[in-house]
Structure 1
Amino acid sequence: MKIGMSLTSSYPTSLDSRVIMENLVEEVKLMAQLGFDSLSLGDHHLTPNHYVQVLPAISSLSSISGNMQLLPLFLLPFYNPILLAEQLATLDVISGGRITVINALGYDAAAFTAFQTTQRARVSRFIETFEIMRLLWERDAVTYKGRHYSFDAPISLNPKPVSRPLLMWIAGGAEPAIQRAARLGDGWAIVPGWTPDLVKKGIQFYRDSLA
Structure 2
Amino acid sequence: MKFGIMASHQYPHGDDLRRHLDELFGTVELAAELGYDSVWTINHFQSNLATPQPISMMASLIPRTGNMTIGTGILILPLFHPVHVAEEFATLDHLSDGRVVLGVGAGYRENELAAFGVDPASRFRRFDEGIRLIRALWSGETVDHDGEFYPLAGGTIGIRPLTPGGPPIWVGAGGRKSVRRAARLGDAWYAPGNSPNPKYLPEHVTVYNDALAEYGKDTETVERPIGVELYCAPSTDEAVRTALPHARTEYSTYAEYPALRWQRDRFDDLVRNTLLLGSPEFLIERIGALRDLGFNHVIFRPGWLGMPAEKIRASLRLFAEEVFPAFR
TM above 0.5, yes or no, is yes
Q: TM-score range by the shorter chain?
A: over 0.9
For the residues of structure 1 that align with 2:204 and 2:157, how far apart are their CA atoms? 36
| CA drift at 1:199 | 2.5
For the residues of structure 2 that align with 1:112 and 1:27, how far apart are their CA atoms? 32
| CA drift at 1:192 | 4.1
TM-score (norm 1): 0.95
Indicate conservation of the 8 Å contact 2:69/2:100, yes or no: yes
| CA drift at 1:170 | 0.5
The equivalent residue for 1:94 is 95
Distance 1:184 1:27, change over 3 A: same
For the residues of structure 2 that align with 1:110 and 1:161, how far apart are their CA atoms? 33
Which of the two has greater helix per residue? 2
The equivalent residue for 1:59 is 59
| CA drift at 1:19 | 2.2
CA RMSD after TM alignment: 1.4
Deviations 1:51-70 (A, max 9, x none): 11000011101111000011
For the residues of structure 1 that align with 2:3 and 2:203, how far apart are their CA atoms? 21
Percent of aligned positions with the same letter in both sequences? 30
The equivalent residue for 1:148 is 149
Indicate conservation of the 8 Å contact 2:38/2:70, yes or no: yes
The equivalent residue for 1:136 is 137
| CA drift at 1:5 | 1.4
For the residues of structure 1 that align with 2:195 and 2:38, how far apart are their CA atoms? 20
For the residues of structure 1 that align with 2:119 and 2:36, how far apart are their CA atoms? 38
Instruction: Show structure 1 runs of 5+ residues with no match.
Output: none
For the residues of structure 1 that align with 2:37 and 2:152, how far apart are their CA atoms? 39
For the residues of structure 1 that align with 2:22 and 2:109, how far apart are their CA atoms? 28
Matches within 5 A, 1:13-24: 13-24=13-24
For the residues of structure 1 that align with 2:21 and 2:36, how far apart are their CA atoms? 19
The equivalent residue for 1:123 is 124
Larger Rg: 2
| CA drift at 1:46 | 0.5
| CA drift at 1:149 | 1.1
TM-score (norm 2): 0.62
| CA drift at 1:160 | 1.1
Distance 1:48 1:186, change over 3 A: same
Larger RCO of the pair (alpha carbons < 8 Å, separation 6+): 2
The equivalent residue for 2:182 is 181
